[in-house]
Structures are given as structure tokens and as C-alpha cells.
Structure 1
Amino acid sequence: MASISASSLSRGVASSCPRARMRLEQQFSLLRIGPAHITNKPAGSQILAQTRYRSEQIHRPEPPERQLVPASLANTSDLEMDAILEKYTSGALSESSQSGSDSEGIGGGPAAVNFQQLRGYARAVPLSPSYFTRAENFTDRFLALQDLFRRYSKLPKLPLQEMDRVAWMSKDKFQEIFHESVKNSVYQRYLSMMKTLHRINPDLKPAAVTEFLREFIVKTNFDENLPKPQTVDKFGRALGVGRRKESVARAWVVEGTGEVLVNGKSLSGAFARVHDRESATWALRSTERMDKYNVWALVDGGGTTGQAEALTLAVAKALVTHEPALKTALRKAGCITRDRRTVERKKPGHLKARKMPAWVKR
């Protein structure tokens, strides 16, 4: 239908305007074969030459060949490359200043540098192979540490008792210095390998290991961080503080005849259960000091069982202040170590922490 319309319309407008006829033929040719085949031939010969499919192949321009580094510049050092770039840049500037004076006067700015005169291919090479990783500084050090660990981890090591105490750089400090985020698990592996290398016998430890570990060892005076020892005051009292669950107990122990007051009450008045009374005085009973010391205690929070067990820890700490030699016996009796167990929280949909409601079919 396009050919019939083109021939009939072209004959109608041929006598009036040849240019209109040519424009009309071009528009109908666009409907059939597209703009790539528009010609100035008559419509009849053009339509006869057309088929259902395009017989001619579309020739696309080939992409330009990639410019490679010349062989003369392949092994050039950085200093030599800088000299070559400066030479070509200065030459391009002089030529552009001589030939482009007109454009410089029009725009008012300096002439552009023609960098196409550089025959070499220059690009910035990252200093580190880990440049494109998430944590460049940490990855470089981690790979170096793995290499040292692979080579020297089998060397003889000293026992832990003979090693000097050292403080290692924390993860937060590392992130503050290098501004990189590191996972806790990865940093713990990092510290584990460094501690293993640190245990190598100093007579056999390579200099590379010592130099690497020096960056992560923090100078610390451990004597300054020790807690202050408890002492007996001028009244002969020793204070001990203990906690259990939600309960807190403070006990003042002084040499006496074995009297115990809890919140101003006797032991039986403060704790009705026998088990709680025995727990409160277990530190004195296990060391056979029940009749040699008096105890005045304040307990708060929680229930009676928690208060009694908190009082056990408080009395034990105060007793160690009077007699440090009893610490081993009290530890064996379980009076020195704090019990950190707490009540498990209730979950949604449960009756208690773990108890579920009865299952009903319907």
C-alpha cells in the first residue's frame, strides 16, 4: 500500500513542485526501510529494489585500537617518567601559547595543554595491593602477619609463667588511628596470632617479628591499674560488699564472740529459713571462725535467698581483709567467687521464661 500511495501521490504533485515530490518519496521510504536508505532516486526504481528484508549490511565504524605502553617506557622509573611528562607538558604549553594567542585573547584564560602529544600511557598505580579492599591498612598488616605466622610459628616458645605481661592495642584504638572498621572476630584472630609469635624464645625470635609486634604493644604500668587493697580501719572493722541477683549486701566484720546482726535484727529474725541462715554464715562456718568475729550487715533488694547469698560474699571479702591466708579455703568453699546467674526473662507467648500454655486442638 505504501508503494501505491507513493506513486499516485507523486504523480499528483509532480507537475506542481518537484521538491515536494522528492520530500514525499523520502517520507514513504522511511516507512519501509528506515532513514539509512533515503536516496534521491525516483520512487519507482527505489520501490522495485526493496525487498521484505534489508539486503545491505549496516557497516558500523570499528572502535579505535587501544593505546598501549611503548616498549621504551615499559621499564621506566617514576622519576624518569615525571621528567618525560614535564618535558612534553612544557613543549605543549609553548606550542599552544604560540599558536593559540587569538583564542587566549578572546577567552581571557590560559591556553589548554595538548596532552595528546604524550606518546606513552601513564596512570597512577596504587601503592598497596589492598587498595581496593574495605580496610586497606588492616588487610596489609593481616597479610604480613599471616606470612610471619606461617614461617615462624613452629619455633620454640616460652611457658606462659615465664612471659612478661604486655598490653595489646585494642580494636577501638586501632579503628581510631587508621579510621577503618574491623570485625571483632577478625581482630581476635589477629591478636591470637600476635600472642603466639610473642611467646617465641627471645634468643630465637627473628627481627622481623619483633619489629612487627612493636607497633601493637602498648606501654602500660600494670601496678597503677591494680585495685587498692582493703584495710582494717581504726575501729578494727573490715568492710565487704557482695551481690547476688538483685540483692546487695554490705558487711562490717570485727573481732568478737560470733554475734550477727542483719538490718538491726538477729539472724533468725532476718532469715526465717534455716537454709538462708546457714548461707549467710557459711564463710565463717567453713573456716571455723564462727566464734571469733562479729558481723553487722545491711542487705537490700531481691528476696531472702538472694540477700543471704549476697551476705555470704560480703562476709568472705571482709574476712580475707582480716586474714589473707584464708582466701584459698574460702575459694574452695565457694564463698569468694560471685554467682552471676540471674532470672531468665519471660518470653512473649510463654507463661513463664520457658513454660508454654497447654496445646488445644480446637
Structure 2
Amino acid sequence: MQSVRSATYLRAALAQRSAAPSYLAAGPTMSLKQQTPRRYATEATPALTAAPEIDFDRMLQQRSARVVPASPSYFTGSPRFFDHLLNLESLLAKYAALPTVSANDSPRMAWLKLPAFRDLVGERIPSKKYRGLLKVLNRLNRIDPAIRPQEVRLALKEFLRPGNPYAAQSTTTSVDELGRARGKGKRKESSAVVSLVEGDGEVLVNGKSLVEAFPRVHDRESATWALRFSNRLDKYNVWATVRGGGTTGQAEAIALALGRALMVHEPALKPILRKAGVITVDPRRVERKKPGRVKARKAPTWVKR
């Protein structure tokens, strides 16, 4: 009786297993991935087709998806400066084969100063970059002016200073109808005007004698150093008008003015006067006083105890 029951139970279990779905037929030991029903492509599923070939000509004709800057230097820190530089370099590469003249024979050009160029482009240009731009300008300026292209002339004209500083020729002073030569000189805060005429060696400074105007011997020798160095002390009379500054500055201002006036009388003395240093301007000035200092650099006295 028990064997009949066992056979009946076995048949029922097999029937139940055959009625279960196929993905559960493997029993509870199957994983979730194995229990998931698989789907296969059938005739109802559309077939996959390959992508068409890329038409590059059509892509070039179409408008770009992003905005492309008009200038190649748009993303640089100084786009307008680099636009000028690239333009000049392209002109230089284009006309590099043209004959050139030496730097001394090329036309003198007054290029824009750095502050004026910064105002032109509206950018903070370092001096090192501007010097590189000037090198390209000077190289273009060395192209023979007789065959210089028009576009090079226009490009160079854009960087010229307003007006022409080299157009005004310096007027050469000469001896007037009374035989006087006039010279001007400055030193520190002093300015002097000297009238030089042939005579017996008399020197007047603001209507006073040389000894009255300059009590120190060193100042008297400085004032007349041009005549002393060229051995012309007894050949010319000097009338000097000087104002501003101290005695040392006034004496050196007279020396510069006297050297220039003497060079008008005798231009051949220029090498001698230059060697004496009486026709060279001395640009030195007193250094300004600083805050918290007694003078330019002197600090106030400090005692620890």
C-alpha cells in the first residue's frame, strides 16, 4: 500500500514539473540570471543596417556647430597686440627677398612710445614684447624705399608718432653782425646764457666780475674750463647771465653754455671741447627725499638706550 502511494506521489511531482515554465524547470539551485527568460531575434525584428558614409564636402558647407573666432589670437592675453605682430611678420615673410639698405641709410622713423602704443591697442603690453615688435618694424623699414610696397608703407605708418619729430631740422647758430656767438646751458636747477665775442679775456657773470660771482676757486675754474682747456683765455670776452640753483650748478651751466658758444666761433675745436667735457650735458640730478628719511637715504639717528 505504501509503495502505491509513493508511485502516485512521484507521478504527480513529475506532472507538476512538466507543467512549470522552462526557466523554473532546473530547480531552485538556478541563479537569477539563469532564471531570466532569453529573447532571441525573430523574423519580426527589423535587421540592423550600417551607417551611411560621411559626406565631408557637405559638412564643410554646413555652418559649424560652435562659434569660431575671427582672429587666431583671440584666446591670448593680448589679442590686438598679437594681431599687429602677426600682420607685420606675414609682411616680412612675404617681402623677405626684397633688397634692403643698411640701418644708417634707412629712413629715420619715430615709432610710438610704449604708453602711446598701449593706448592704441587698449592692452597692458610688457616692454619686452614691444621691443620684439620694434625689431620687426625696423626690419621692414630697411627695405629699399625705392621699391617698398604700398602695403608695407601703410603698415609702418600706423606705428608712427603724430607729426614728424625728424622733419624740423635743428637751426645752426652763427655769429651775429656784432661778432657775438650765443650759447645756452643747464645743470641741476641752474640755466645760463653766454654771449662770446673776441676781446682781451674779460668775464662778467650777471654784471659782476668772476671773483665776485664765484668766491670759490673751483667754481671759477669750472666756469672758464672751456677757454682754459683750449688756450683761449685771452682771446674772447664772456658775458654770462645765470639764474637758479647754487654756485656749483651755475658754474657748470656756464661751462656748458660757454663751450657751445666757443664751438660756434671755431667749429674745429669740437673734438677738443668734447674731450674736455664742456659740450656734453650732465643729466644727474639730486635724488628726491624719501618719507621717514632725513634726506634721500640718510636715516634719522636711532639709539637703543
Give the TM-score band, short-chain normalised.
0.5 to 0.7
Partner of 2:273: 330
Whole-angstrom distance in 2 between the partners of 1:161 and 1:130: 34
- Give the aligned partner of residue 283 of structure 1: 226
Q: Which residue of 2 aligns with 1:216?
A: 156
Conservation of the 8 A alpha-carbon contact between 1:169 and 1:216:
no
Q: Partners in 1 of 2:300 and 2:120 — Cα distance?
A: 54
Alignment size in residue pairs: 248
- Report how far residue 248 of structure 1 moved: 1.3
| Aligned equivalents of 2:122, 2:285: Cα separation in 1 | 38
Alpha-carbon RMSD across the aligned residues, in angstroms, is 3.8
Residue 215 of structure 1 aligns with an amino acid whose one-letter code is A
CA distance in structure 2 between the partners assigned to 1:175 and 1:359 by the alignment? 46
Q: 1:337 to 1:157 in 2, by over 3 A?
A: same
Query: 2: distance between equivalents of 1:180 and 1:353?
Result: 35
- Given candidates 61, 69, 81, the residue that maps to 1:76 is 61
Residues 151-178 of structure 1: per-residue CA shift (max 9 Å, x gap) = 999x998654444434435556655665
Question: How much has 1:300 moved relative to structure 2?
Answer: 1.2
* 1:229 maps to which of 172, 179, 183: 172
Larger mean Cα displacement after TM superposition, 124-133 or 170-179: 170-179
Q: Residue by residue, what CA displacement relative to the aligned partner does 1:45-66 show, whole Å, maximum 9, x if unpaired?
A: xxxxxxxxxxxxxxxxxxxxxx
Which residue does 1:248 correspond to in 2? 191
Tell me the alpha carbon deviations over residues 112-152 of structure 1, each in whole angstroms, 9 at most, x when there is no partner.
Answer: xxxxxxxxx65542221222434433212324556788999
Deviation at 1:294, TM superposition (A): 0.6
- C-alpha separation in 2, matches of 1:300 and 1:222: 30
In structure 2, distance between residues paired with 1:157 and 1:135: 31
Find the aligned partners of 1:177 and 1:351 in 2 and give their Cα distance: 42
Question: 1:211: how far off?
Answer: 5.2
Deviation at 1:238, TM superposition (A): 1.7
**What residue is the counterpart of 1:168 in the other structure?**
111
Alignment of 1:105-120 (within 5 A): none
Determine if the alignment matches structure 1 residue 271 to structure 2 residue 214. Answer: yes
Structure 2 residue matching 1:289: 3-state secondary structure: coil
The amino acid of 1:333's aligned partner reads: A
Distance 1:341 1:194 in 2: 33
Query: 1:174, 1:343 → 2: CA distance?
Result: 31
The residue number in structure 2 matching 1:355 is: 298
1:142 aligns with 2:85: yes
Taking structure 1 as reference, are residues 223 and 185 closer, same or farther at Cα in structure 2, changes over 3 Å only? closer
Q: Cα distance, 1:184 vs. partner?
A: 3.6
3-state SS in 2 of match to 1:325: helix
TM-score by length of structure 1 reads 0.57
Say if 1:262 and 1:298, in contact at 8 Å, map to a contact too. Answer: yes
Q: Which moved more, 1:318-327 or 1:245-254?
A: 318-327
| 1:74 counterpart SS class | helix
- Residues 263 and 298 in structure 1, CA contact (< 8 A), matched pair in contact too: yes
Q: Secondary structure at the match of 1:285?
A: helix
Q: Distance in 2 between matches of 1:72 and 1:290?
A: 92
Between the aligned residues of both structures, percent identity stands at: 50
Alpha-carbon spacing, 1:181–1:73, altered in 2? closer, same or farther (3 Å) = farther
Structure with higher Rg: it is 2
- Supply the AA of the counterpart residue of 1:312: A
What are the ranges of 5 or more consecutive residues in structure 1 without an aligned counterpart? 1-68, 82-120
Tell me the equivalent position of 1:339.
282
2:238 partner SS:
strand
Counterpart of 2:264 in structure 1 is: 321
C-alpha contact 1:237 1:253 (8 A) present in aligned 2: yes
Q: Is 2:246 aligned against 1:303? A: yes
Aligned partners of 1:281 and 1:312 also within 8 Å: yes
Deviation track 1:226-277 (CA, whole Å, cap 9, x = no partner) reads 2212222222222211111111111111111110011111111111111111
Q: Which amino acid in 2 is paired with 1:264?
A: G
**So what's the TM-score if we normalise by structure 2?**
0.67
- Cα distance in 2 for residues equivalent to 1:259 and 1:146: 63
Runs of 5+ consecutive residues of structure 2 not aligned to the other structure: 1-53
Secondary structure, counterpart of 2:186 in structure 1? strand
Alignment of 1:175-190 (within 5 A): 178=121, 180-190=123-133
Which one is further off, 263-272 or 342-351?
342-351
| Structure with a larger share of its residues in helix | 1
